[in-house]
Structure 1
Amino acid sequence: MQTYGVTLFDSTHEAMKAEKAAKEAQLKVRIIPTPEKIHASCGFSLKYELSNEADLLALFQQMEIQTEGFYHATRDGLKTEYERRKD
C-alpha cells in the first residue's frame, strides 16, 4: 500500500508556480494530471510525500499560492482512494 498527498489548483499557472516554489525549497513534488475521482478547475495537480505536507502548506501560505484543496491518497494495487484533508 502506498500513501501520498495531492494538491489541487484552480489554474495551470498556480500549479506550475507551486511546483517551482516547492522544488526550490527542495521538497519532493511532481505535477500529475488531476485524478478523475477528484474534480477541480485545473487539469494539473501536485503529488507530494505526506511527510512534507506541513512544509508545503507553510510555503504555499508564504508565497500566497492558491489551492483548491489537499487530499490524502491511498493506493492499494490498482485501486486508489482519496480523502480530502480536513483543516
Structure 2
Amino acid sequence: MNTIKEWLVIAFDSTHQALRAEMLLEYAEIEIDLFPTPKGITAGCALSIQFQKEDLANVVRIVKEETVEIRGIYRNEVHGYVTIE
C-alpha cells in the first residue's frame, strides 16, 4: 500500500527565526524543506519550512521549548492554506 505523506508549513516573521528553526529541526533529525513562503500565507519573511504531518507534535514541542517565533503552522487545502497551530 502506497502512503501519501501530508506536508505542513511553518511561516515566520523574520529570516533569523526561519534559519534558527531550520537548524533546530535538522538537529532533531526531522525531515524538512526550506522554501519560499507560499503566496497564500501572509508572513513577514520570504522563507518557510515544510515538514511531514507525522512530525507535528515534535515540531511544536521544539518551537515552544526553544521559543522560536513563528507566524503559524498551516495545512494546504483545496481553497488555500488553513492555520492549524
State the TM-score, normalized to the length of structure 1: 0.86
Deviates more, 1:65-74 or 1:18-27: 65-74
Please report the RMSD computed on the Cα atoms of aligned residues, expressed in angstroms: 1.8
Show structure 1 runs of 5+ residues with no match: none
Q: Counting strand residues as a fraction of each chain, which structure ranks higher?
A: 1
Correspondence for 1:55: 58
Q: Equivalent of 2:71, from 68, 72, 84? A: 68
Distance of 1:25 and 1:2 partners within structure 2: 19
Q: Structure 2: any 5+ residue segments left out of the alignment? A: none
- Over 4 Å off, 4+ runs: none
**CA separation in 1, counterparts of 2:29 and 2:79?**
27
Q: CA deviation at 1:30?
A: 1.5
Give the fraction of aligned pairs with identical amino acids, expressed as a percent: 26
Structure 2 length as normaliser, TM-score? Answer: 0.87
